[in-house]
């Protein structure tokens, strides 16, 4: 994948993050903290639906893409199992004698329940279509799959103010649903050369079984990972209320800007890695990627710690706690980003069940810590629990990879990451009230550069050569 393709794939996550940063303060200023919390619950449920009902077949699609010649048939096989399960569960849920909207949003509304199901189905299809254009290396179209839902949401939310509509959650829900539906229509048009021919293809039972063997272990892992990233919202909703949930959700959403990097890297890394695996992978290449990723993660983590005091300036005073929550929230996508490189052995060896074990281990740690910490510490407890759980996720996934494939050097990496975790815990527990606390983050990054000085020197020389060549 050349530089042009990388830039095309990067536009989407960067644009989506920028639009989120515009939309979020807007919602925070004009809607109540409770409605922000309800919007968070909606996003959590949509995320769960994609993780659960896709049956992780989109990951099997990516894994087998370079192995199968008939891409349209591969797409059909990947979609059908999850769609069948989603239809069955939807019928059963509608027949149940309780209100799904009351359960999730504490608002009894048939309209909200209807909008929820529309959003789930649309998100399900968007997920698969995004992976189609990703594997076709259509960078601009893939970027559109990331930007368009956020852009439509921003436009529709703007209409609430422009048309003087009532700023309540029902209105917000309708606008969110319209945004997702509009995006789906666009993606169906852009990928018609794949899904239209796929309708006429026969389903290969052999291929279906092969893909399910790879994907089904990832379902439990995917749900566990979903729980790892979202269970804190459920605990906050039940143990602290929608106000604490709203504050925490805004902190997580702002930290989600860091997920842009994770998204860009994953979209580029997995196709390259599996192509390397087919051609015969060199361990030195992977080690180089790991070392550079550690340096990058340390840099972003330190920058978040140094400049966290700026964030509350752009939000109402109710969100002041975000100053010390933001660093913990940034750590979550950084752990995932790093584990994408240190855990490569699991994907290379097709031992996907070990990803499941890593996610379940972290899930259990997160559940226990959320239960113990949230009643007394609220959003602070949720942040602490999730940081520690992601640390466990990173360690377990890295260790499994080392045993399944090859043992990468890990001691100094663990020492460094543990130092950053301790620094984060100190900042959150002290509520950023320590004098000159930013020096701690500067020291940690200097420590990183010393530990990986040979790689830093190598990168500096590459940068010098590049600048001189220009």
| DSSP output for 329-388 | HHHHHHHHHHHHHHTHHHHHTT-THHHHHHHHHHHHHHHHHHHHHHHHHTHHHHHHHHHH
Q: Average the pLDDT over 128-139 and give the result.
A: 78
Q: Which residue has the higher pLDDT, 316 or 411?
A: 411
In percent, the amount of the chain with pLDDT more than 90 equals 6
Query: Helices 3-30 and 33-53 meet at what angle, rounded to 10?
Result: 140
- Assess whether pLDDT exceeds 90 at residue 263: no
Q: What percent of the chain is predicted at pLDDT more than 70?
A: 84
252 and 368 in a common domain = yes
In a domain, 210, yes or no: no
Average pLDDT value for residue range 252-273: 68
Same domain, 335 and 400: yes
* pLDDT of 124 higher than 80: yes
* Total residue length of the chain: 470
pTM for this prediction = 0.66
**pLDDT (0 to 100) of residue 140:** 75
Would you place residue 233 in the very low, low, confident or very high pLDDT band (cuts 50, 70, 90)?
Answer: confident
What average pLDDT does this structure show over 169-179? 82
Minimum mean pLDDT among 129-133, 178-182, 238-242, 304-308: which range?
Answer: 238-242
Residue 433 and residue 409 share a domain? yes
Do 260 and 111 fall into the same domain? no
In a shared domain, residues 270 and 183: no
307 and 248: one domain? Answer: yes
- Confidence label for 42 from pLDDT (cuts 50, 70 and 90): confident
Q: Is residue 209 domain-resident?
A: no
153 band by pLDDT with thresholds 50, 70 and 90:
confident
> Which pLDDT score is estimated for 46?
84
Q: Which residue, 157, 176, 203, sits at the end of a domain?
A: 203
- Report the pLDDT value the prediction gives residue 92, as an integer from 0 to 100: 87
Average confidence (pLDDT) over 71-84: 86
Q: How far apart are CA 37 and CA 147, in angstroms?
A: 23
Distant-in-sequence contacts of 20-23, Cβ < 8 A, 24+ apart: 20/150, 20/253, 20/256, 20/257, 21/254, 21/257, 22/154, 23/150, 23/153, 23/154, 23/157
Report yes or no on 172 lying in a domain: yes
Q: How many CB atoms lie within 10 A of CB 368?
A: 13
Predicted pLDDT at 418: 93
Show the beta-strand stretches assigned E in 48-138: none
- End-of-domain residue from the set 169, 203, 237: 203
Collapsed DSSP state (helix, strand, coil) of residue 156: helix
Whether 84 and 13 share a structural domain: yes
**pLDDT of res. 281:** 61
- Across the range 177-204, mean pLDDT stands at 84
pLDDT at 452 over 90: no
Residues 6+ apart with CB under 8 A from 97: none
Rg of the Cα trace of the chain?
Answer: 22
* pLDDT score at 174: 83
213 within domain boundaries: no
Q: Are residues 418 and 365 in the same domain?
A: yes
The listed range with the strongest mean pLDDT (189-198, 273-282, 314-323) is 189-198
93: Cβ contacts below 8 Å, ≥ 6 apart:
100
- State whether 76 and 177 are in the same domain: yes
- Position 241 scores a pLDDT of 66
Mean pLDDT, residues 7-32 taken together:
70
Determine the structural domain holding residue 268 and report its residue range.
218-470
Q: What is the mean pLDDT of residues 48-60?
A: 82
Write down the pLDDT at residue 435. 66
Say if CB 40 and CB 249 are below 8 A apart: yes
Residue 435 CB coordination number (10 Å) = 6
Q: Looking at residue 417, what is its pLDDT?
A: 92
- Over 70: is that where the pLDDT of 365 sits? yes
330 shares a domain with 269: yes
Of 146-160, 380-394, 424-438, which one has max mean pLDDT?
380-394
Specify the pLDDT at position 416.
92
409 within domain boundaries: yes
> Of 145, 168, 203, which residue constitutes the final position of a domain?
203
Task: Identify the residue whose tokens are 């340096």.
Answer: 295
Q: Do residues 246 and 184 share a domain? A: no
| 1 compared with 206, residue with greater pLDDT | 206
Q: Assess whether 152 and 280 both reside in one domain.
A: no
| Residue 348 located in a structural domain | yes
The number of folded domains in the chain is 2
Q: What is the mean pLDDT of the chain?
A: 79
4 pLDDT exceeds 80? no
Q: Is residue 212 part of a domain?
A: no
């Amino acid at each position: 994948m050349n530089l042009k393709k990388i830039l095309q794939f990067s536009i989407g996550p960067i644009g989506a993050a920028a639009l989120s940063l515009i939309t979020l303060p807007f919602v925070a200023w004009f809607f109540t903290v409770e409605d922000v919390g309800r919007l968070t619950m909606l996003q959590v449920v949509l995320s769960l639906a994609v993780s659960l009902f896709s049956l992780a077949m989109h990951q099997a699609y990516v894994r087998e893409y370079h192995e199968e010649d008939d891409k349209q048939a591969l797409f059909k096989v990947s979609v059908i199992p999850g769609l069948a399960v989603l239809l069955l569960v939807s019928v059963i849920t509608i027949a149940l004698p309780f209100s799904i909207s009351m359960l999730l949003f504490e608002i009894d509304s048939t309209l909200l329940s209807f909008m929820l199901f529309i959003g789930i189905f649309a998100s399900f299809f968007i997920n698969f279509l995004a992976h189609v254009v990703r594997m076709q290396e259509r960078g601009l179209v893939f970027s559109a799959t990331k930007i368009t839902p956020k852009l439509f949401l921003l436009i529709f939310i703007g209409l609430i103010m422009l048309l003087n509509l009532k700023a309540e959650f029902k209105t917000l829900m309708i606008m969110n649903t319209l945004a997702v539906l509009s995006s789906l229509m666009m993606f169906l048009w852009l990928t018609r050369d794949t899904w239209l021919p796929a309708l006429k293809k026969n389903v290969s039972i052999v291929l279906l079984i092969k893909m399910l063997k790879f994907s089904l272990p990832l379902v439990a892992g995917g749900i566990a990972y979903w729980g790892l990233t979202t269970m804190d919202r459920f605990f906050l909703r039940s143990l602290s209320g929608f106000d604490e949930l709203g504050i925490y959700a805004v902190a997580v959403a702002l930290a989600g800007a860091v997920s842009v990097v994770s998204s860009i890297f994953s979209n580029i890394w997995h196709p390259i890695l599996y192509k390397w695996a087919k051609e015969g992978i060199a361990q030195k290449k992977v080690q180089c990627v790991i070392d550079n990723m550690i340096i990058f993660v340390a840099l972003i983590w330190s920058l978040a710690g140094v400049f966290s005091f700026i964030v509350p300036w752009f939000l109402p005073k109710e969100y002041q706690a975000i100053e010390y929550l933001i660093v913990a929230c940034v750590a979550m996508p950084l752990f995932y980003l790093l584990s994408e490189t240190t855990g490569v052995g699991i994907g290379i060896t097709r031992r996907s069940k070990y990803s499941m074990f890593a996610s379940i281990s972290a899930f259990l740690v997160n559940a226990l810590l959320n239960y113990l910490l949230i009643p007394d510490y609220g959003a602070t407890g949720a942040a602490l629990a999730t940081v520690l759980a992601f640390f466990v996720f990173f360690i377990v996934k890295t260790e499994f990879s080392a045993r399944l494939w090859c043992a990468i050097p890990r001691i100094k990496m663990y020492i460094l990451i543990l130092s950053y975790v301790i620094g984060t815990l100190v900042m959150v527990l002290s509520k950023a009230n320590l004098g000159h606390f930013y020096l701690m983050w500067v020291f940690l990054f200097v420590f990183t550069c010393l530990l990986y000085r040979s790689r830093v020197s190598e990168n500096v020389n590459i940068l010098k050569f590049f600048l001189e060549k220009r």
